[in-house]
């Protein structure tokens, strides 16, 4: 139905309207379906701008679980041919199509496969072949050879529960390793953002592992089993990255600071660095750090480390009464790392509400609660 000309016209004519209004508009053919599509397109406008522009067909589950465009394009794969074992909505396959001459994308669900074909056509992508077949069946009979095999296994169980272990996901990439190696030289696996990097190296041995974040939120853990020397990388898309051989050096934490007034900058390490547990290694020689989940403090600007860095206006031990008088109510933007109070508790004790242009960071360093006033305005944030 979603591919019918009258439905496509209705989606285009109503793309800017409230989906609830569309559903109740008796003049629109198949109003409920049109409303659902408009709602999903509006939700993915920033996440998948190329799908939005093409007015792509968006099945509900696939739209919710798809990769973002930035993360899909960040994967460093290229070559002659690629086999995508888990096409879904086709976001990753669409990105790979720009860097491979040919992509074969498998999708076991017939409706999703049809949607992917339609979307590739609407976006003018001609070098992706969508095959409606389970990965296990295709691999069992495949005689073709690919440069890369890619998989983003389904991480939802039959009961809707989110899965993290690769062996529980579908298809089971761990069980299929030997079969995959016969049809592809190299394998890339996208895992849950909660996936343990140590488990990745345990399962795949000599490989590269990337922990990827977007806008400060960890989005995926990618395994590249291509025979490379073991390497762990934290990638903050658009903000930089940090790599080290695996296993990394043991973390070295700074001693308790004697003079906090000497610090000019505070950095909130990126989520990818924290998940990869590489904060100490990334800031070595650039800033003082006291824990993987805390902040980094430095006299000068710490170049080349993924994270948000702010110029410090003032720094002192946390004193609720003094801070309450200083702030005088109003709104405060709160940044909190390794601090023993919630944002709500901080607001209650300081007599403020969240939001506004004033920015404060609250953290704990060597057992002492610290309050840091950040420089006002955009100039206060350096990264």
Asked whether the beta carbons of 191 and 154 are under 8 A apart, the reply is no
User: Does residue 255 fall inside a structural domain?
Assistant: no
Q: Would you say residue 252 lies in a domain?
A: no
pLDDT at 115: 93
Both 349 and 292 in one domain: the answer is yes
- Looking at the structure, do residues 76 and 199 belong to the same domain, yes or no? yes
CA gap 93, 115 in Å, rounded: 13
Q: Is residue 254 part of a domain?
A: no
Domain count, the chain: 3
Distance between CA 101 and CA 302 in Å, rounded?
41
Which CATH number goes with the domain that contains 198?
3.40.50.150
Length of the chain, please?
383
pTM for the predicted model, two decimal places: 0.91
Same domain, 238 and 374: no
Question: Of 63, 83, 109, at which residue does a domain stop?
Answer: 63
Determine the Cα–Cα distance for residues 363 and 368; give it in Å rounded to an integer: 8
- 51 and 67 in contact (C-beta within 8 Å)? no
Q: Is residue 83 located within the same domain as residue 180?
A: yes
* 280 and 357 inside one domain: yes
pLDDT of 156 reads 80
Where a domain ends, among 63, 81, 99? 63
Query: Same structural domain for residues 354 and 232?
Result: no
Q: For the chain, give the percent of residues with pLDDT over 90.
A: 87
Please report whether residue 137 resides in a domain.
Answer: yes
Phi, then psi, of 350 in degrees rounded to 5: -100, -5
For residues 221 and 77, state if they share a domain.
yes
Q: Residue 182 has what pLDDT?
A: 96
Give the max Cα distance, the chain: 74
Same domain? 298 vs 216: no
328 shares a domain with 283: yes
Q: Please say if the pLDDT value at position 49 is more than 80.
A: yes
Residue 89 is part of which domain span?
A: 68-245
Residue 39 sits in a domain of what CATH number? 1.10.10
Tell me whether residue 253 is in a domain. no
Cβ neighbourhood burial of 214 (10 Å; 0-12, 13-18, 19+) = buried
Express each pLDDT in 83-124 by its tens digit: 999 999 999 999 999 999 999 999 999 999 999 999 999 999
pLDDT digits (tens, 9 = 90+) for 151-166: 999 888 777 778 778 9
Note the pLDDT of residue 250: 96
Which of 245, 278, 302 marks a domain boundary?
245
What Cα–Cα distance (Å) separates residue 370 from each residue in 40, 288, 320, 338?
43, 15, 11, 10
Together in a domain, 92 and 224: yes
Same domain, 114 and 57: no
For residue 130, the model assigns a pLDDT of 98
């Amino acid at each position: 139905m979603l591919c019918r000309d009258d439905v496509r016209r209705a989606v285009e004519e109503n793309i800017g309207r409230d989906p609830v209004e569309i559903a109740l508009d008796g003049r629109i053919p198949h109003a409920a379906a049109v409303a659902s599509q408009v709602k999903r397109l509006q939700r993915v406008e920033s996440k998948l701008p190329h799908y939005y522009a093409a007015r792509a067909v968006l099945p509900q589950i696939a739209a919710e679980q798809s990769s973002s465009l930035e993360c899909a394009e960040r994967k460093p794969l290229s070559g002659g041919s690629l086999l995508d074992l888990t096409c879904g909505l086709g976001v990753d396959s669409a990105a790979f199509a720009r860097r491979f001459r040919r992509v074969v994308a498998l999708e076991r669900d017939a409706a999703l496969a049809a949607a992917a074909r339609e979307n590739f056509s609407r976006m003018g992508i001609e070098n992706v072949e969508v095959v409606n077949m389970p990965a296990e069946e295709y691999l069992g009979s495949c005689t073709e050879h690919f440069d890369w095999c890619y998989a983003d296994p389904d991480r939802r169980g039959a009961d809707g529960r989110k899965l993290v272990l690769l062996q529980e996901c579908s298809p089971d990439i761990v069980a299929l390793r030997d079969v995959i190696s016969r049809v592809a030289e190299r394998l890339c696996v996208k895992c849950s953002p909660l996936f343990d990097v140590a488990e990745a190296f345990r399962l795949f041995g000599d490989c590269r592992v990337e922990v990827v974040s977007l806008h400060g939120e960890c989005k995926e853990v990618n395994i590249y089993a291509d025979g490379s020397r073991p390497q762990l990388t934290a990638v903050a898309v658009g903000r930089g990255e940090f790599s080290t051989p695996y296993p990394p050096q043991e973390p070295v934490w700074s001693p308790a600071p004697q003079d906090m007034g000497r610090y000019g900058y505070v950095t909130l390490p990126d989520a990818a660095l924290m998940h990869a547990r590489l904060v100490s290694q990334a800031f070595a020689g650039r800033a003082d750090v006291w824990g993987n989940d805390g902040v980094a403090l430095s006299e000068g600007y710490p170049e080349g480390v993924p994270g948000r860095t702010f110029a410090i206006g003032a720094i002192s031990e946390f004193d609720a009464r003094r801070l309450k008088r200083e702030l005088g109510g109003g709104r405060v933007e709160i940044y909190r790392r390794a601090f023993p109070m919630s944002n709500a508790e901080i607001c209650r004790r300081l007599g403020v509400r969240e939001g506004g242009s004033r920015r404060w960071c609250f953290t704990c360093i060597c057992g002492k609660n610290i309050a840091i006033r950040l420089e006002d305005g955009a100039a206060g944030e350096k990264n």
